[in-house]
Each structure stands twice: as structure tokens, then as C-alpha cells.
């Protein structure tokens, strides 16, 4: 992308690039090597591709939304505040999984790292940090949701994945309250995950949903399944149908 389209101040861009280069040299490695690869499934390439696809679904419009992928000891993160459908591998942040320090930052000063870590809803006294829980059952698409958060690749008789919910199971997604700043969600988000180890997602009221999986394919499948289930739940509510009978 022409840097003038993002920032007409070439002098500022030059200073920013110099600062980024100095940071990279300080880390003692060629940081840009972390995000350059011809492999389409390399995390930097994969995240860019997924964000373009998610944009067509209306998931990451208005610079919202984000994707991160862990690869070994590296975590690749899409930046905040950028047009996700136009994102490139060079826009990626790379973090060391063990130290939680950034190994690479994009040169653009306007790009920020993603911040660390939502009808029929009833308070759940056994899970105090999450005031409510979304529950639904006897819907075909819950078969795409894993048990125990990460699920299993083992196939049972009849073709059902052992680690996935069945038609008669109840899917439960904890809900936490939103905060003014996304980074302030971290404590309640972590507590909800600890209290609901079987969940693969957390809803944030008036904000959105965090979804994860043991790999990219599972996380994507569960995000798509949840999107369908949430939309279905809204239509059922309009018709006066119960999510759990």
C-alpha cells in the first residue's frame, strides 16, 4: 500500500520506520522475517486472509474485530484500528508466548496492538463473575461446538466427533459485562474462562464475542456455528420460542 494513502506525512513515517527498525535491532533478530513467507497458511498470511473473509460476513467492519494465531512460541496478532479487509502481513504484531513481549511491531505509528482481552438469560449463582449465560439446545448447529473448549478429533460410531456437543446437549456460553476500555475486560474474561472450562467462547454484553479453538480450523468453525446460533436465537425470541424447553 502506498504510505501516502495512510499517512501523508512522509517525515513522520520515516521517523516511525526508524524507531521500528531500532526496536527490531534491539530484539537481536530480524523481526520482519517472522512475517514473510510464501506459505498461505503462515500465520501472518492466514490472518490477513481470514480478516478479508470475515469482512464479507460483516464481522470486522469499521476496523472492529480481530484474529490471533499461536505458532510455537510466537503469537501473531492483527492490529486494532485498521481496515481489516485491507490488512497485509506487514501489519502484524508478533509476541513471544513465554515472555509476553512484542518481538515485532509494524512501522506504522497509527497501528495499535490489540487490547488484552456478550432474552432468556438468567443469572447463574454458581458462576458469580459471569452474571448471565446463553443456553440453547436441540438445534443441529450445536454439533459444530466442542466440549471442553478444545474438543477432540476422535470420531465415534455414526461419524460424530467425541469432543463435540450432541443434538440433545445444552450449549452454554457465559456472558460478562462490557467495560469502557477493552483491556479492562481481561480480569473478568479470564475468570469466566476459568469458571467455565467447557466453553469455547465468552459473550461480552454490548460488545461482541471471543471465540477460540485448538487450531485455526476449529476456531473458525465454532465462530461460524455460533454466529448462526446467535442469529437463530434472535429470530426464535421474536417468535416467542424458547431456547431451552
Q: What is the pLDDT of residue 148?
A: 67
Q: What residues form DSSP beta bridges with 76?
A: 69, 94
Q: What is the pLDDT of residue 185?
A: 87
Q: Measure the CA–CA gap between 168 and 157, rounded to whole angstroms.
A: 17
61: Cβ–Cβ under 8 A, 6 or more apart, which residues? 55
Task: Name the pTM for this structure.
Answer: 0.74
Per-residue pLDDT of the chain (245 residues; tens, 9 = 90+): 222 233 233 333 444 445 544 554 554 357 889 999 999 999 999 999 999 999 999 998 888 888 999 999 999 999 888 889 999 999 999 999 999 999 999 886 455 666 654 233 333 444 444 458 899 999 999 998 988 655 555 555 555 556 788 888 899 999 999 988 888 888 898 899 888 888 899 999 988 999 999 899 999 999 999 999 999 999 999 999 999 87
For residues 6 and 108, is the Cβ–Cβ distance under 8 A? yes
Architecture of domain 3-104: 3-Layer(aba) Sandwich (3.40)
Residue among 140, 187, 194, 198 flagged as catalytic? 140
Q: What is the pLDDT of residue 23?
A: 52
Q: What is the pLDDT of residue 171?
A: 92
Query: Is 140 annotated as catalytic?
Result: yes
Q: Where in the chain is the domain with CATH 3.40.225.10?
A: 3-104, 122-238
Q: Measure the CA–CA gap between 187 and 81, rounded to whole angstroms.
A: 23
Indicate the fold that domain 122-238 takes in CATH.
L-fuculose-1-phosphate Aldolase (3.40.225)
User: In whole angstroms, how far apart are CA 22 and each of 13, 45, 128?
Assistant: 14, 24, 46
Q: What is the pLDDT of residue 224?
A: 94
Amino acid at each position: 500500500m502506498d504510505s501516502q494513502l495512510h499517512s501523508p506525512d512522509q517525515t513522520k513515517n520515516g521517523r516511525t520506520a526508524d524507531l521500528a527498525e531500532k526496536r527490531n535491532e534491539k530484539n537481536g533478530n530480524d523481526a520482519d522475517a517472522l512475517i514473510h513467507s510464501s506459505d498461505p497458511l503462515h500465520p501472518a498470511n492466514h490472518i490477513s486472509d481470514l480478516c478479508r473473509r470475515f469482512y464479507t460476513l460483516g464481522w470486522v467492519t469499521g476496523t472492529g474485530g480481530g484474529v490471533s494465531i499461536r505458532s510455537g512460541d510466537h503469537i501473531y496478532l492483527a492490529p486494532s484500528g485498521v481496515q481489516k479487509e485491507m490488512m497485509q502481513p506487514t501489519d502484524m504484531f508478533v509476541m513471544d508466548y513465554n515472555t509476553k513481549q512484542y518481538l515485532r511491531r509494524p512501522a506504522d505509528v497509527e497501528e495499535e496492538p490489540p487490547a488484552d482481552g456478550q432474552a432468556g438469560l438468567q443469572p447463574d449463582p454458581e458462576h458469580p463473575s459471569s452474571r448471565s449465560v446463553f443456553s440453547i439446545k436441540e438445534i443441529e448447529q450445536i454439533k459444530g461446538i466442542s466440549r471442553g473448549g478444545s474438543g477432540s478429533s476422535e470420531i465415534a460410531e455414526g461419524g460424530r466427533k467425541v469432543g463435540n456437543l450432541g443434538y440433545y446437549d445444552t450449549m452454554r456460553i457465559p456472558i460478562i459485562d462490557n467495560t469502557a476500555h477493552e483491556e479492562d475486560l481481561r480480569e473478568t474474561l479470564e475468570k469466566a474462562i476459568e469458571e467455565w472450562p467447557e466453553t469455547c467462547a465468552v459473550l461480552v454484553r454490548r460488545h461482541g464475542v471471543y471465540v477460540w479453538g485448538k487450531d485455526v480450523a476449529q476456531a473458525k468453525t465454532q465462530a461460524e456455528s455460533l454466529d448462526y446460533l446467535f442469529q437463530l436465537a434472535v429470530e426464535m425470541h421474536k417468535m416467542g420460542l424458547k431456547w431451552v424447553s
